[in-house]
């Protein structure tokens, strides 16, 4: 016996309106300069400079994702997503230098990728010291678990996995599983 209820007409109509809203949001981002994105699905996202977001084909980006680009007139400050990238809800990208996500990557909800830091020498107030930044690169076929933090200067090698809740502060070789705070090697991916 199947106890699964079918959606009522109100629910189906509401869902159609939500999908229309997402389509309009995607269109407005395209008008503002978003590049690429053929056959992609974007829900409600925030992007202060859509012309610096290069979206691959067949991507899915869920609600509440924030793409924050700090230097839109710097050619090295952009976010590039490969093809078939999935980004879960409430992720945050803080870009002061390029962030590159390869093809077929999965980034779970509430993950932060931040390639910006701050100098902290003892002879001056921290807020008066210069920022630091280094690119972040996720190569193809990378899976980032829920609520991870990826910091500046990190490259995550092809086929690697980062377990939920990890903080990645150094680069990860290809086909490895890492976990923890800070993230450390757990095992090879076979």
Active-site residue list: 118
Residue 89: Cβ within 10 Å count: 15
Q: Which residue has the tokens 């377990």?
A: 163
Looking at 38-101, which runs of residues are DSSP E strands?
Answer: 41-42, 46-47, 53-55, 60-61, 66-69, 79-81, 86-87, 92-95, 99-101
> Would you say 87 and 63 are in contact if contact means Cβ atoms under 8 Å apart?
no
């Amino acid at each position: 016996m199947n106890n699964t209820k079918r959606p009522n007409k109100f629910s189906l109509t509401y869902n159609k309106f939500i999908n229309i809203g997402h389509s309009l949001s995607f269109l407005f981002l395209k008008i503002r300069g978003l590049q690429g994105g053929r056959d992609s699905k974007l829900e409600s996202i925030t992007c202060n400079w859509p012309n610096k977001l290069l979206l691959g084909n067949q991507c899915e980006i869920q609600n509440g994702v924030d793409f924050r680009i700090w230097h839109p007139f710097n050619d090295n400050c952009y976010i590039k997503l490969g093809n078939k990238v999935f980004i879960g809800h409430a992720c945050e990208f803080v870009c002061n230098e390029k962030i590159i996500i390869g093809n077929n990557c999965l980034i779970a909800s509430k993950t932060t990728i931040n390639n910006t830091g701050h100098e902290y020498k003892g002879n001056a107030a921290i807020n008066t010291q210069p920022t630091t930044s280094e690119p972040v690169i996720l190569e193809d076929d990378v899976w980032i678990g829920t609520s991870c933090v990826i910091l500046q200067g990190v490259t995550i090698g092809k086929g690697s996995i980062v377990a939920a809740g990890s903080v990645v502060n150094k680069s990860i070789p290809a086909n490895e599983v890492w976990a923890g705070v800070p993230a450390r090697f757990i095992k090879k991916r076979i």
